Amino acid sequence: MGFITATADRLTIRNFTEMASLIRTLGASGFRRFATYRQATVAATVTNSVFGLLRTYVMLAVSAAATAVGATAAGYTGPQLVLYVWAGQGLIGVVMLWGWTDLADRVRSGDVVIDLLRPVDPVFAFLAADFGRAAYAMLTRFAVPMVTGALIFDMYLPHRPATYPLFLVSVVLATVVCFACRFLANATCYWLLDYRGVGMAWAVFSGLCGGLFFPIRFLPDWAAALLWFGTPGPSLLQAPLDVLTERDGWPVQLGMLGVQAAWAVLLLWLCRVVQRRAERKLVVQGG
């Protein structure tokens, strides 16, 4: 390297094959990294399953009470709610709702400077590694709770073949949206230097508005619409879960993917903007 600036010249990517190989390499590193955290994976899966058990009983009680007065629980049947709860617990680890403080830690320790010296955009590099992590989580943290839930309870399984690919696309989009949210929350550390408060606000927001604590449909229509279009919340878990439980026909399923895609693009763009500003701030500070 000839000279060192605060941010290195970016790698020029000439064609799609180069980009694909870069994503593959970074993704594989993310996959391998999380594959080494075996104990943590087991611990997290057990935790998700415990909460799955508790939530399932609450949801089944809701369904039973609603059926008793001749209604349904916001249009979900009992078995659909079981699927909702367990798939939701599994997806926590796939989209990685909580516990990602990589960027915040690196900002605090100053290691982020090394990331800036790499010839790959940090947003892109973190996202590519996150795909690898999500793929590993899909095989472990998603699969285990799903099997557990299906063995213990009467769980709904999607009838329409098209639902499965739609669900996968939705999970990929949810991962991107969640990554962008995490990145933005972590990036506040460039200015605040302490992540605890922001991290907590993010944890509450994502659980509540993501559809983890209760399905967003349990809310009045206006509130649900506000969340869907005004916040990225439902794009985190609610969208893939509604696609999977087949609560609606395919037009609505596609519509939800559309909303997710819009949020993904918007938030990734925002990540770039914030990252650039942060880099400039670091340069001004003399980093």
Assigned token pair, 66 = 């609603």
Place of tokens 């927001």: 205
The phi-psi region of residue 57 (left if phi > 0; otherwise alpha if psi is between -120 and 50; otherwise beta) is alpha
Binder to other proteins among 102, 120, 158, 218 (CB under 8 A)? 218
Residues 66-125 that bind other proteins (CB under 8 A): 66, 69, 71, 73-74
225 interacts with other proteins by CB under 8 A: no
Minimum CB distance to other proteins smaller for 147 or for 152: 152
Residue whose CB is less far from other proteins, 46 or 254: 46
Query: Which residues, in sequence order, are CB contacts of 56 under 8 Å at separation 6+?
Result: 81, 82, 85, 86, 149, 153
Segment interacting with other proteins, rule: CB under 8 A, options 13-21, 23-31, 136-144, 214-222? 214-222
Three-class secondary structure of residue 161 per DSSP: coil
Q: For residues 121 and 20, is the Cβ–Cβ distance under 8 A?
A: no
Is 70 or 251 the residue whose CB approaches other proteins more closely? Answer: 70
Residue linked to tokens 């809310």: 219
Mutual angle of helices 102-109 and 122-137, in 10-degree steps: 140
Which of 29, 47, 77, 101 forms a contact with other proteins (CB under 8 A)? Answer: 47
Q: How far is CA 254 from the centre of its chain?
A: 19
Query: How many chain residues bind other proteins (CB under 8 A)?
Result: 40
d(CA 180, CA 178): 5
190-209 positions binding other proteins, by CB under 8 A: 192-198, 200-201, 203-204, 207-208
Span of 17-25, 62-70, 143-151, 227-235 interacting with other proteins by CB under 8 A: 62-70
Separation between Cα atoms, residue 224 and residue 217, nearest integer Å: 6
- Smallest distance, other proteins to C-beta of residue 220, A: 8
User: What residue ranges bind other proteins (CB under 8 A)?
Assistant: 37, 39-40, 43-44, 46-47, 50-51, 53-55, 57-58, 61-62, 65-66, 69, 71, 73-74, 192-198, 200-201, 203-204, 207-208, 213-214, 218-220
